[in-house]
Structure 1
Amino acid sequence: MSYPGYPPSDGYPAFPGYPPTGQESVYPPAGQYAYPAVPGGFPPSGGGTYPAAPPNAGFPGAAGYPAPGGYPASGGFPGAPQAGGMPPYPGGFPGGQVPSPMPGLPAAVVQCTQGTIQAAPNFDAGRDAEILRKAMKGFGTDEQAIINVVANRSNDQRQKIKAAFKTMYGKDLIKDLKSELSGNVEELILALFMPSTYYDAWSLRHAMKGAGTQESVLIEILCTRTNQEIREIVNCYKSEFGRDIEQDIRSDTSGHFERLLISMCQGNRDENQTVDYQKAQEDAQRLYQAGEGKLGTDESCFNMVLASRSFPQLKATVEAYSRIANRDLLSSIDREFSGNVEHGLKTIVQCALNRPAFFAERLYYSMKGAGTDDSTLIRIVVTRSEIDLVQIKQMFTQMYQKTLATMIASDTSGDYRKLLLAIVGQ
């Protein structure tokens, strides 16, 4: 796999402050985790349990389950006693249920994901290349013209614009953009022009390159992508940077965290969407016996289940776990693990429960407090813009009682703000 125009060894030059110094760990500190409930709810506090699910029942909301509501007695979901150290979201979620990304629509529709960026109709790569050339020609730069093009074209269309620009003018669009732009807006526009797979591979390379390792970047990418995406990233990493990603991970990480990331790199997660409730019950019992049910922790058991089961299967396992342990699985992971492996395992569980909510949380903490982790903000907005940024925005509003656009507007400025808001949509 080759991406013309990108140096084979380093890809894009490192951007100043990528990620910002001192902000490498963008996961909220221990005690600040708050995560929406599993759709379908958990047993009410006080030890109530669900009856066994009927064979082949739908999940969640299958016949035989009581109405959603309540949480395990010592869990860390909104509204639960806070033994797990997870403060509730402001206002909580009524009935202990994840709010529907699209209230009023049937569940089958809600599961659909949607990006804020769609392929532009009546697309003309040559015309767009001409607009960009005119915006950069002569004295000064027409940043608004550049924003109007890049924020309203799909990644595939941007690759065609890049090729047309070189054909028409004999110049490299990326080099021209770099000479005209600087700072965060430069990083954002260059990220938009990277092929999606290349951008993920590039982000992983820069997370491990040089002194220090940006573990949160490794977790965010490797623990959330599909099998096909991971395999393509691994191949791209090899072809573009001439390096083996597993070897780099082994050099930069260690212990159970290293093993979890190596498992993720295989891209072999079961993707069967049919839920086996008996297996979910067995896995939940296995996880309980590997953690809460014994002295010490059998880390390999958690790695095996969370790295190999499909996300719908894991969601069923989380439900079963709450009935067995009277505690949600995120809270148990919080008690049994620490550091990067804890963050990695939680990320997998969170994505199984509600992937848009996971990214909404990441975006929130990239801007919360003093300073902004611009690289995380840019990476998530760019990588999810054609996948599920619509749902991420909806979850952001429901989780934090403010819109993503409002928070971006208050945390950024200038053309950088304009471009981010153009991608996110109002």
Structure 2
Amino acid sequence: MRLGGRLQAAIEVLTDIETRHRPVPDALKDWGLSHRFAGSGDRAAISNLVHDALRMKLSHGFIMDGDTPADLAVATLLRQWNITPEELTASLDGDKFAPEIPSTDHLVACLARDLSQAEPHVRADIPEWLAASFERAFGDQWEAEAQAMTARPPLDLRVNTLATDRDQVLEAFAEQGAHATRLAPNGIRIEPGLGPQRQIAATSEVSFARGWFEIQDEGSQLAAALAGVYPGEKVLDYCAGGGGKSLAFAAMMNNEGSINAYDADRRRLAPMIERIRRAGVEIIHVKERAANLAGLEGRMDRVLIDAPCTGTGTWRRRPDAKWRISDKNIADRTADQDKVLEDASVFVRPGGELAYVTCSLLPEENTDRVKAFLQRHPEFETISLKERWRSAVADADAPVPYADQNLGLVLSPRRTGTDGFYFAGFRRKA
């Protein structure tokens, strides 16, 4: 397909998402099924166009003075793919599959609009009603923090040190320009492609089948490292999901000790079984039901809560979620977070630690929940995050990304080059 056909396809997918309120993956899948002639390169380019358009939906609308799917798709080519108005109109000229677009002069005039005159939330590309939460989280840097969420995310890998080392995995991905992550000591990063370029399918590599690595954002790797597990300990991963952090713990513990992996939705645990086998992990015990945790109360050295959240920290990867979030979503998640903190804290032994993690940037889900928990549970105290950060990261000079009032840490694309994560650690008083 030529650029015109790809542009028209992106407009059709964006229209489907807008009119039927559908997640991006579903709309892209349906388009692909009804257009089987499109090759893998075409599908990747169309997906990139759609995701990029949604990442900067509001500022695109301001620049184009309109926010139709066509406006957003055209603005994406001009502002994110760096195609000039002259190049774009020339490329579409005579293409019968291309949509109609404004004239070159009109597009030039659009690009000349002064974005600094837009409302702050438009410049930040976030819903207006969330601006106050971002300002609470980041102070006068909130707009820049939100803007950093509009970039494409990299592909991060965590080297499985039970099977290999980072140098060997770097060699396996040398052709893709892989390099060591700055903060995660066992991370590898492959930068995102430009324009229509697709990201590599890392799980199709032989080295993946050998168990050499897992796909895991550097921020998630750091959250696991901040939990500070040691060989021989008893660990509970209370909201284990697919097991990414449990697998990281197993490597950090050198397969010594025990890790109990539990999730309230046991269907989320199913992928972990194959991942455990592939990674050569021997100490993870999957707990399908809450009843399986009986007898562990007050015995765990460390408990991790990777809490259910709104996922605002993952907006680079799921930009459509940015425009679907609501007050009810936040209220539902904060209730869930309070409950898992209550339920999981009973498993921490005296002197043991509880780690609370979200992939959210909102104080409502982060510092507010920690303050409420500490008020309810004076038997817990916070841990020294400066010392924990220094021991967890590879770059000793990296600034400690404190949250508001130093109550936890906030990782973000702008601060740490990672997805958005929050980490808070507590110790049960002996």
Q: What is the TM-score when the length of structure 1 is the normalising length?
A: 0.26
Structure 1 or 2: more helix by fraction: 1
Q: What is the TM-score when the length of structure 2 is the normalising length?
A: 0.26
Structure 1 or 2: more strand by fraction: 2
